[in-house]
Structure 1
Amino acid sequence: MSINLIEVDFTTEDDIEAALADWSFTGGPEAMKAIERAARHMAFKYESSQTIEHDDAYQEGLILTATHPRLRECFSDPNIGLGVLHHRLIQLLTTRVRTEAKHRSGTRSWEANQAGLEAMGC
Structure 2
Amino acid sequence: MGKGSNVQKAQQARERNQKKLGKSDEERKASLQKAKLDASAYMCKICRQTFMVNAKASLLYLHVTSKHDGTAPDACFDSLVGFDPNDPDGEKAAAAAKAAGPPKPKKVAKKKDDDLDALLSAGLGSKKK
The answer to which structure has the higher helix fraction is 1
Tell me if TM exceeds 0.5: no
TM-score, L = length of structure 1: 0.27
Higher relative contact order (CA 8 A, sep 6+): 1
Based on CA coordinates, which of the two structures has the bigger radius of gyration?
2
